[in-house]
Chains A and B, each alone.
Chain A
Amino acid sequence: MKGLITGRRLGLTVCLECRSTVSDAGAVSRPRCPRCFAPLHPRKPHSLGITTALIAAAAVLYVPANLLPVMNTRTFFDNEPDTIMSGVLELLQSGSWPIALLVFIASIVVPLLKILALAVLLYTAWRREPRHQMQRTELYRLVEFIGRWSMLDIYAISLLATLVQVQGFANIIVGWGALAFGAVVVLTMIATRTFDERLLWDAPAHG
């Protein structure tokens, strides 16, 4: 990899908004892209620190997101709390296993995978691990691609809570778990944005 020339060595910065390559961005104190006027940075500022903080917050909130009820079904007789997992089980029992699998993957597997994958990426980028760059880049792209799909259950819950408001029959009330879950999704999505994937490729520091 030594013969390869990076933008940093040539003094070139790429604008992440409009993807144009800019020369001499370091000459002024706060460089901006001449084409779209976005702020330019050779690497996203404080990428590792900010991403670590966001991932830590998401990991903490992942616990209440899964343990607290995301919705409560109140009928005339009782109040039935539903966590994400019990929603999946209910779908499974009613015979729609493909939908159950979909919700299980989108709501339980994907957020956990995102948190773990970003933690691994952060650790290896911080260590400046010189191997497996391609695999780690592919892992990052997977996280970037699947991130938004965790919102699935939030949308399903919002529709259920809006529709099931039948006086004297049943009401669905959104629970605190849904808020925690929404926060996990948003935090991990922002964390994916603040992580600079170029750090995976930066050569180890000499000396």
Chain B
Amino acid sequence: MPAVIVCPACDLAHRRSEPPLRGRNECVRCRAPLQGPDHRPVETAIALGLCALVLLILGNAYPLVVMHVNGATRETTLVGAALGLYHQDCKALAALVFLTTVIAPLTQIIALLYLLIPLWRRRRARGQSAVFRLLVAVRRWSFMEVFMLGAIVALVRLSNYAHVLPGIALWSCALLMISLSALTAVTSPEQFWAWVERRAT
């Protein structure tokens, strides 16, 4: 490894130093984060990943919103929101919603567990670098926190016309949102490759 780190945001070269124990080193010119802590235990990330997986399953198994109107009850799940658009022939929009609220979080969690569980057992996952790049790409399109706020907006708009109740899935999605951000925070690319270096080389 070169003794120099280059800032990915402004291309300034820095002398490589020890990664900080907490907080982060910043680029001296553009203040982009250069290095973060890379000594977290891999078990933390696996635990958070499993937690997120359970919450995602719960979020899809139970209704997100329940609506009572004129004696009828309507409810929807996370997948149901995308399916509703699909049934209205808004296939492109349905695909976008499905991708950003179901596929991306699911792929993010599965890919991470696929990479980390072998590392925990001091092995390398098959196709490690390809799965890592998939993970980096899919994280950008995982919009759980935005979806939560959108669900709140929908609840407020509906509450003028009907009796609406947040379902169990809404609470698990809120917790999922928190565990996904925690998961992303403890599995920075630097941290991931530090685990690979220490545990499987």
**A interface list, Cβ under 8 A from B:** 4-10, 12-14, 16-23, 35-38, 87, 90-91, 94, 96, 99, 102-103, 106, 133-134, 137, 148-149, 151-166, 169-170, 173-174, 178-179, 182, 186, 189, 193, 197-198, 200-202
Interface positions of B (Cβ within 8 A of A)? 1-2, 4-13, 29-32, 64-65, 67, 69-70, 72, 74-76, 80-85, 88, 90, 92-94, 96-97, 100-101, 129-130, 132-133, 136, 140, 143, 146-147, 149-154, 156-158, 160-161, 189-190, 192-193
Which residue among B67, B76, B190 has the maximum number of chain A CB atoms within 10 Å of its CB? B76
A7 B6 Cβ-Cβ under 8 A: yes
CA of A41 to CA of B146 in the docked complex: distance in angstroms? 32
**Known: A38-B133, A156-B153. Contact between A12 and B101, CB under 8 A?**
no
Given the complex of chains A and B, what is the CA–CA distance between A148 and B93 in angstroms? 15
Complex partner residue of A103 from B151, B153, B160, CB under 8 angstroms: B153
Q: How far is the CA of A22 from the CA of B1 in the complex (A)?
A: 8
Q: Kindly list chain A residues whose C-beta atoms are within 8 Å of the C-beta of B157.
A: 87, 90-91, 156, 160
Are B10's CB and A162's CB within 8 A? no
Please state if B154 and A155 are interface contacts (CB–CB under 8 Å). Answer: yes
Interchain nearest-CB distance for B143 vs A (Å): 5
- Among A18, A90, A155, A166, point to the contact of B81 (Cβ < 8 A): A155
Contact of A99 among B2, B64, B156 (CB under 8 A): B156
Contact across chains for A182 and B158 when beta carbons are under 8 A apart: no
B107: min CB distance to chain A, Å: 16
Contact A163 B74 (CB under 8 A): yes
Q: Is the pair B158, A164 in contact by a Cβ cutoff of 8 Å? A: yes
A-side contacts of B96, CB under 8 Å: 154, 182, 186
Beyond known contacts A161-B84, A202-B11: 14 more, CB 8 A cutoff = A4-B12, A6-B13, A12-B6, A91-B157, A148-B146, A152-B153, A156-B153, A158-B81, A158-B82, A159-B84, A160-B154, A164-B67, A165-B74, A166-B72
Pick from A37, A134, A152, A193: contact of B129, CB under 8 Å = A37
What residues of A have a CB within 8 angstroms of the CB of B136 in the complex? 17-18
* CB–CB A99/B152 < 8 A: yes
Ordered by A's residue number, 10 sampled pairs between the chains whose C-beta atoms are within 8 Å are A5-B12, A6-B12, A10-B13, A19-B8, A38-B129, A91-B157, A99-B156, A155-B153, A158-B97, A178-B90
Residue from the list A23, A37, A182 in contact with B2, Cβ < 8 A: A23
Which residue of the partner chain, among B9, B31, B75, contacts A197 with CB atoms under 8 Å? B9
With A and B bound together, what is the CA distance between A6 and B186 in angstroms?
Answer: 29
The 3 A-B pairs of least Cβ separation, nearest first, read A162-B84, A155-B150, A7-B6
